[in-house]
A and B are shown apart, each in its own frame.
Chain A
Amino acid sequence: MSSRTTPASPGVLAPSEPPGRRSLRARLRGVLPVLGSLQGYIGLVLVIAAGMLTKGQVFWNQQNLTNAVGAFASRGILAVGETLVILTAGIDLSVGSLLGIASMVSALLLVHQNLNIYEIVPLCMVVGAFFGLANGAATALLRIQSFVVTLAMLNVVRGIDRMLSDNVSVGTQLINAQGQLTPRSAQFQVLGTPGHNVFTGLPLPFVGRAGIYYPVLALVVVVVVFQLLLSKSKFGRHIYAVGGNETAARLSGVNTTYVKIAVFMLAGLLAGFAGPIDAAYSASADPLAGSSYELDAIAAVVIGGASLAGGRGSIVGTLVGSLILTLLDNVLGLNAISDNAQLIIKGLIVILAVVIQRPDFFRALGPAVRRLGRLTRTRTGDPPGEVASGSPQPQSATPPLEESR
């Protein structure tokens, strides 16, 4: 992917540059492939443009964007883990259930054990990683297809979740005898209850002293960390290798079993990390929390340009896919589109986004556009009666264009 992306970013390819700037250019070259081709951002730009055109300031303000991204943050984090699994040509259907059990565990630890968030979040990550490890072991060691393993795990984990909770949702806003939130409950709120931020009071860029909404921060940090892991580490290259051609990867010395187990475990770890965010967002853990989140996560990954056949995709792409999904929802909601119409529009736009972001989309479109352009030029130049006769003329000009492809 990286070799293809560099030509698409114009500013970098200045033909001759003074040697002093070479280091900057080299540095830019190092970073830009991580961001992927500019084409990958077209869908996002279109959604944002639609929001700004129809709603202006109501859409494009920090509060609304924070709300929109925050609502999807836990699913975005799931999507990052899902990307790793999909890159190895596997799939993880259990991430929604893993998020559910992690959110329930976080609420139970808060309510019954009165732990603080620095204890709760790591414990939830351990829970998620444990089930992820089970997924990975069954897939890599028992050689069961990951679709089957994780579909089974989806049910197993949901069952455990429902047993833990006795089918009753667990609230995280505990009130003490004075009618105040208990200190631990108040602390738990910063994990994502709307209106509660971290780093408040610090003069931060962009957000000021209001602080940062933790789910958004968590999503960004997870994206950065895992994108660097993928593009800068040996392990990341091994993930692509396993997804590209597992046999070739194994023969060239990659421990494919280890890589597969590791990606499922990381997906579980991230689901465990996202669980408390989901619980704090709703100020309660529902026994059904996270149901069907796996579908949103997979959709974000695919819209972000990853191939379900493995070997192609990036974490930044997945972030773009997540943003498209949640901002689209936001724009449609702000425009008060009816619920039934929203389903249709969302479905169609998702397909459109995937098509536009294909690497070869514009190359395939190019000749057609140029032909259309010539046709209109002919039309305006010629008298109206001779439009049809104008068509043979451009055809003669077509072959050189075909060669350029």
Chain B
Amino acid sequence: MKSRRWRLALTAAMLAPLAAAATACASTAPTSGATGAASKSQFVIGYSQSNNAEPYRAQLNIQLQYFVKKYPNLKLLPITDAQQSSAKQVSQVQNFIAQHVDVLIISPNEPAPLAAAVQQACNAKIPVIILDRSVNNDCYTSFIGGDNVAAGKQAGDLAVKLLPNGGNVVELQGILSDQPQIDRDKGFREGIAANPNIHIVAQREAKWLKESATPIMQQWLAQYPKIDLVYSENDPMALGAYLAAAGAKRAGQIKFIGTDGLAIPDGGIRAVQQGQMAGTFIYPTCAEQAAQTAEAIVSGKPVQKTQTLQVTPVTPDNAASLYAQYDDSKFQS
């Protein structure tokens, strides 16, 4: 009898947090802005990064730390790295919620798995800023992202400009199911539609990787005697294709267009400057806008729900100055 009562009490004790969690989820409605937080002098920001090991995201981290420092009333907690695991990212976001940060910034790894975690943050009245990739939940305060369709479209426009008489184009794609891949491909096709004499003769998935692009380009060079332009959905693949073409002594006859435009020694801006690529497009990291938006939220200013940032075209003329403007080492302190 006694033991059964103990077991009952134990079960109840175990269930209590669950019940509390369940009611918490059901009761509160999402709110925006930091209500009643204006009296504090220091506001804490938590940032959940989906994967540190991508150069673009490494740059984002560095820039966010730099721009948050510009606002003395903001303090950035150590950035968490979900290492491409949505499950890991959910628990990291929940940790930030438990610490009750004043603003939560998330670069979601995938749209669906993060939806519930974002909802928990909204329920806890923590304003959420979503960066770059979408999440299947619109209770966030602001979404800041680049426009991948526009990035592809501008690349297509550049291709039309580079090939006034038309020509054969090959396209190197990222992982086929990735949204940036789908959008950039769509935009590029819209762009080159302006000249019906431009044909995409081949397209292959090189998984965003330089080392995968090289053998693919070598196969294309063997198959097609005339390739006029390579469109690559990121810079490393374009440079991998360039290596293959240079090795076959055909780089001079082919124009290369990339995307991303990272200002690192091994990045796309340098490659344009050195004449390896005809052009690339700086895909915005959104770090500066994220810091601005966080500051606006904590000081009670209105923020836009959706902020779409444009890509910056990199040409041989402006490459040097853009490199200086975006150079990573400038943001490191």
Give the interface of A toward B (CB within 8 A): 58, 61, 63-64, 67-68, 71, 162, 166-171, 175, 179, 193-196, 278, 281-284, 286-289, 329-330, 333-334, 336, 339-340
Contact = CB atoms under 8 A, between A and B. Distances in A.
Given A167-B53, A282-B210, A339 B205 contact: yes
Nearest to B206: A339
B247 A333 contact: no
B176 interface: yes
B247 A193 contact: yes
B223 A168 contact: no
Interface in B229-273: 236, 239-240, 243-244, 246-249, 264-266, 270
Interface of B: 52-55, 57-59, 176, 202, 204-205, 209-211, 214-216, 218-219, 222-223, 236, 239-240, 243-244, 246-249, 264-266, 270, 274, 328
A79 to B, nearest CB: 17
B54 A167 contact: yes
A203 B215 CA distance: 28
Given A71-B218, A333-B204, A334-B219, A168 B247 contact: no
A282 B215 CA distance: 10
30 contacts: A58-B222, A61-B222, A67-B215, A67-B219, A67-B244, A71-B214, A71-B218, A162-B52, A162-B53, A167-B55, A169-B266, A170-B265, A170-B266, A171-B265, A179-B274, A193-B247, A194-B218, A194-B247, A194-B248, A195-B246, A195-B247, A281-B243, A282-B210, A282-B214, A284-B210, A286-B209, A286-B210, A286-B211, A330-B219, A336-B202
B204 A339 contact: yes
Given A167-B52, A169-B55, A196 B247 contact: yes
Contacts of A329: 215
Contact of A58 (B52, B223, B328): B223
B58 A167 contact: yes
Nearest to A197: B247
A170 B262 CA distance: 13
Contacts of B202: 336
A196 B244 CA distance: 11
A171 B218 contact: no
A334 B216 CA distance: 9
A283 B245 CA distance: 13
Given A63-B222, A282-B210, A168 B55 contact: yes
Contact of A333 (B55, B215, B264, B270): B215
A345 to B, nearest CB: 15
Given A330-B219, A334-B222, A289 B211 contact: yes
A168 B266 contact: yes
A169 B236 CA distance: 10
A297 B212 CA distance: 16
Most buried by B among A68, A167, A171, A286: A167
Name the residue in B55, B243, B249 with the highest tally of chain A Cβ atoms < 10 Å from its Cβ. Answer: B243
Contact of A171 (B54, B204, B246, B266): B266
A283 B235 CA distance: 13
Nearest to A67: B218
B211 A166 contact: no
Given A162-B53, A166-B58, A288-B53, A281 B211 contact: yes
Nearest to A196: B247
Nearest to B249: A195
B59 to A, nearest CB: 8
B269 to A, nearest CB: 12
B222 A194 contact: no
Given A58-B223, A67-B215, A330-B219, A168 B246 contact: no
Nearest to B208: A288
A327 to B, nearest CB: 11
A340 B176 CA distance: 9
Contacts of A168: 55, 58-59, 264, 266, 328
Contacts of A194: 214, 218, 243-244, 246-248
Contact of B248 (A193, A195, A286): A195
Nearest to B250: A195
